């Protein structure tokens, strides 16, 4: 399993020819706890690691949530409105969050394996 630190990178979907999405990485307790709370929008995506569940209490926007296993394979995707509690996913090791509808546009699907590149930044494609 990859070990990351709080910071920025990019999410690669669909291999080298797929889109590269700006990614914020939250691995510390403090960064994971804050997550997207208090934000009015999301640029790119947020990776919470380790994590197997989330909530949207005190969030202002609906979000897409992808639960990833230790190989970064998408186990399930949900769109969650503010004020909800997501059920824990037993095999999930990481949670990816983005603005509602974004993941479909990027091609993130159940069974898809994504890649996290640390220390890079890009604009959504």
pLDDT tens-digit readout, 15-24: 989 999 999 9
Tens of pLDDT, residue by residue over 56-82, are 998 999 999 999 999 999 999 999 999
pLDDT on residue 39: 87
In this prediction the pTM is 0.90
Tens of pLDDT, residue by residue over 24-67, are 999 999 999 998 888 888 899 999 999 999 999 989 999 999 99
pLDDT on residue 124: 47
Which strands, in side-by-side order, build the sheet including 45-48?
Answer: 74-80, 63-68, 94-99, 45-48, 20-26, 7-13, 114-118
């Amino acid at each position: 399993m990859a070990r990351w630190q709080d910071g920025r990178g990019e999410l690669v979907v669909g291999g080298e020819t797929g889109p590269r999405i700006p990614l914020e990485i939250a691995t510390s307790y403090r960064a994971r706890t804050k997550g997207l709370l208090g934000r009015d929008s999301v640029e790119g995506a947020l990776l919470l690691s380790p994590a197997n569940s989330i909530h949207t209490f005190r969030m202002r926007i609906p979000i897409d949530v992808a639960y990833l296993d230790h190989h970064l394979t998408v186990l399930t995707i949900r769109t969650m409105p503010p004020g909800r509690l997501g059920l824990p996913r037993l095999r999930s090791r990481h949670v990816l969050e983005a603005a509602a509808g974004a993941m479909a546009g990027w091609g993130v699907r159940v069974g898809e394996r994504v890649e996290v590149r640390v220390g890079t930044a890009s604009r959504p494609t």
